[in-house]
Chains A and B, each alone.
Chain A
Amino acid sequence: MNTRTSSSFSFRSPALRLVSRVAAAVLGGYALASAVAVFLAAVLPAAPAEAALGGMQFSFAVYAVAVIWAFAPVSLPRAWAGLLLPAVVLAGLGLMLRGAGGGA
């Protein structure tokens, strides 16, 4: 049992919970960052290429903040949901507004 981890996070089965949290941060964070890039590409008030470029450049900051947030003291279900739900919503909106033939 890894005492260091459990003292930091009060995990009961630290290994699995830690793997889950790291996965939430890495995969959920990347999903959210990608979704923000897709969403901004659709909604930024600029030419499409400009909007897409802006979204890409901003996405790395989103990723960093997402990882930081995933390692804040929030419960695991909240960490996953807090990253994936907005990701699904933003990516869906981006797809609807521009991806599937909509938009200018």
Chain B
Amino acid sequence: MSTKKTKATSQGGFRQAQAWLHTWCGLWFSWLLFAVFLTGTLAVFDEPITHWMTPEHHAEEAAAAAKKGEPTADRAQRLAWGMAYMAEHHPGAAMWELWPSDAQGGGELKVYWFDANRQYAGASLDPATGRPIKEDVGHATRATLGGHHFVDFHYELHAGTVGLWIVGIAAMAMLVALVSGVITHKRIFKDFFTFRPKKGQRSWLDAHNVTAVLALPYHAMITYTGLVTLMFMYMPWGPQVAYKAHGGTDTFFAEAFPGGVRTQIKASGTKAALAPLAPMVAQATAHWDGAPVGRIVVHQPNDANAVVSLTRAEGRHLSYDQPTMQFNGTTGALIGTFGDVPKAAAETRGVLYGLHIGRFADPLLRALFFLSGLAGCLMVATGLLLWAVKERQKYAKTLKQGGRIGFGLRLVDGLNLGAIAGLPVAMAAFFWANRLLPVDVASRNDVEIRWFFIVWGAAAVLGLLRPTLRMWQAQLALGALLFALLPVLNALTGPAPLTTSLRAGPSAVAGFDLVAIALGLGLAGATWLVERKRRKAVAAPKKAVKPPPPAELAASAAAGQGS
């Protein structure tokens, strides 16, 4: 074996091995990766999706947008209301956390605290009156996970810790597939400008290359930053070893992210009045060159050991982490400032985290994230289809003689169908369930998600039973219909049809409807491509290996450009 290995140790051998790794690593994880990429792409717009999915709020959102010029309470008043609420309702909590306003001084007024079991709890206050907003005043709001369904699914598959690990392993496989893919394609940039129509599988390979190379920096960034986002779970060994004899991981978090919510302040047991917050806020805003305070955390309020942490409001900063100032809660004296001079590793993590969630981005950049994510979906999908096309050629002779394809290829065909064509149907079904289920159904948010999984499961089973071009067409066409008709559903079941929302808002609802139409048209285009392919196959049944129609190449390429 060693002699054979020595012979194989050449450039070609390495590249061949990487091609093998790329193929199999890609194949086994691509069904899951496609789902993670597609749901993650929708997660870019989780807030607009949630808006669309709670039509009860559309009227008040439109009203709020209309009176945007009217002043709600100013920052100081909002903070005072928040503090008054906490003092009245949660005087004994170990931590208060207040978000008085957004960076512009408007938006919601939210308060959080640790309850008796040290669990997070929260409430929303009316920014015009300071009174708590009761969700069930006047009319019931439907319970829904909204766009957060896609956020949750794309990193934990609604399966908790197990899901987190599965997605983490898939992300690592994605990273390996990206690197080995680049190694495999030695002429990667030349190939990017190459199209070879009428060369069978080359067409799928070219489409795979275009979608991969086009957004390669995005693919690498989103995969690596995804891993970093959850690195405290995936790779905890550094701090565990380094802090084993130095106070444990709590000390690590306190040192790594000083001034954070995780900071543990012990209560002294001695009561003491809280110093006024207004001077602290003024001092912090002055220190940050006028940038407003976004978050106020009070550790051990009304205790002699109270500490107040002020964090700068999120603005257009790349990093997720914001500088913080800490004050003594009883004297009001400054304890320290944190994050003014970013520390390299912590700031890197903050930037990587910020890049992944893209909250710094304006709508245009978010749209680019969305399109790059779609390119990632197409890269994964074309990779899967390329494997099936290649494998099918091995059966060309058998098929010609009336034989059958192997079990492995049949399985891949079926899974490809359920994963690629079935998922959009399931996602659309989720939106339809949101609008069609009665508002007062018990555990409604779970029922919506159950419909997502039921429809996806049905699509996957049908795909495995009949992995034919007809089935591809049926599922793609169904997805196209369900997405394209979402604006109609919205018009029938909500107060803000596209005709209204385009003129008077809410803009989130208008945007959702337009993107739904675009996705519907994209799926309809895919249905049409399959129809051409099927007609060719019917017209020339004798031809063993048929070149795919050139229109398909053009369309795959166009889709790769981010249509």
Complex Cα distance, B171 from A60, in Å, reads 10
Chain A window 71-104, contacts with chain B (Cβ cutoff 8 Å), 1 for yes, 0 for no: 1111100000000000000010011001111010
A37 contacts B21, CB within 8 Å?
Answer: no
Q: Which residues of A contact B175 (CB under 8 A)?
A: 60, 63-64
A60-B235, A67-B176, A71-B18 given as contacts; is B8 within 8 A of A12 (CB)? no
Residue contact B20 to A38, C-beta cutoff 8 Å: no
Interface readout for A20-59 with B: 1 if CB under 8 Å, 0 if not?
A: 0000000000000110011011101011111111111101
Report if A46-B244 is in contact (Cβ < 8 Å); known contacts: A37-B237, A57-B228: no
Task: For the complex, give the distance between the alpha carbons of A68 and B256 in Å.
Answer: 32
Interface pick from B56-64, B78-86, B131-139, B343-351 = B343-351
The smallest C-beta distance from B473 to any residue of chain A, in angstroms, reads 31
Interface pair B1/A75, CB less than 8 Å apart: yes
Using A37-B235, A52-B256, A68-B21 as known contacts, say yes or no to A63 and B343 having CB atoms under 8 A apart: no
Tally of contact residues, B, Cβ under 8 A: 47
Q: Is the CB of A49 within 8 A of B256?
A: yes
How far in angstroms is the closest Cβ of chain B from A102? 8
Chain A residues with a Cβ closer than 8 Å to the other chain, count? 45
Whose C-beta in chain B lies nearest to the C-beta of A40? B238
- Evaluate contact between B183 and A68: CB separation under 8 angstroms: yes
- The answer to whether B243 touches A51 (Cβ under 8 A) is no
B9-17, B361-369, B431-439 - the one binding chain A: B9-17
Nearest B residue to A8 by beta-carbon distance?
A: B20
CA distance A50 to B253 in the complex (A): 10
Set of chain B residues within 8 Å of A40, measured between Cβ atoms: 238
Q: How far is the CB of A57 from chain B (nearest CB, A)?
A: 6
B residues 10-50 near A (Cβ < 8 Å) are 10, 13-14, 16-18, 20-21
Do the beta carbons of B346 and A53 come within 8 Å of each other? Answer: yes
Residues of B within 8 A of A41 (CB): 238-239, 241-242
* A54/B9 contact (C-beta < 8 A), A71-B21, A72-B17 known: no
Q: Is the CB of B345 within 8 A of A71?
A: no
Whether the pair A64, B235 counts as a contact (CB closer than 8 A) is no
> What is the CB-to-nearest-CB distance from B278 to chain A, in angstroms, rounded to a whole number?
33
B-side interface mostly? helix
Q: Complex formed: what's the CA distance from A22 to B352 in Å?
A: 29
Q: Tell me the smallest distance from the CB of B12 to a CB of chain A, in Å.
A: 9
A100 to B246, CA, bound (A): 9
Determine if A10 and B349 form an interchain contact, defined as CB atoms under 8 angstroms apart: no
The answer to whether residues A60 and B228 also contact, given A50-B256, A50-B344, A68-B179 and a CB cut-off of 8 A, is yes
Q: Kindly list chain B residues whose C-beta atoms are within 8 Å of the C-beta of A8.
A: 16-17, 20
Residues of chain B within 8 A (CB-CB) of A59 are 231, 235, 238
> Does chain A have a CB within 8 A of B2?
yes
The docked-state distance in angstroms from the alpha carbon of A97 to that of B133 is 55
Contact B343 A47 (CB under 8 A): yes
Asked if A48 contacts B243 (CB within 8 A), the reply is yes
A98 vs B345: C-alpha distance when bound (angstroms): 19
Instruction: Name the residue of chain B whose CB is nearest to the CB of A54.
Output: B345
> Are A49 and B255 interface neighbours, CB within 8 A?
yes
Contacts of A55 in B (CB 8 A): 238
CB distance from B300 to the nearest CB of A (A): 23
Q: CB < 8 Å: which of A49, A56, A101 contacts B235?
A: A56
Tell me, rounded to whole Å, the shortest Cβ–Cβ distance linking B349 to chain A: 6
Say which residue of B5, B227, B246, B349 sits within 8 Å of A74 (CB atoms).
B5
Contact A60 B241 (CB under 8 A): no
Query: Is the CB–CB distance between A51 and B9 below 8 Å?
Result: no
Q: Which of A12, A72, A73 has the most CB of B within 10 A?
A: A73
Instruction: Check: B186 CB closer than 8 A to any chain A CB.
Output: no
Q: How far is the CB of B393 from chain A (nearest CB, A)?
A: 14
User: Chain A contacts of B345 at CB under 8 A?
Assistant: 44, 46, 50-51, 53-54, 57
Please name 9 further chain A to chain B contacts, defined as beta carbons within 8 Å, in addition to the given A53-B348, A60-B231, sorted by A numbering.
Answer: A8-B20, A46-B343, A49-B346, A50-B256, A53-B256, A60-B235, A71-B180, A73-B10, A94-B242
A residues touching B (Cβ–Cβ < 8 Å)? 8-10, 12, 33-34, 37-38, 40-42, 44, 46-57, 59-61, 63-65, 67-68, 71-75, 91, 94-95, 98-101, 103
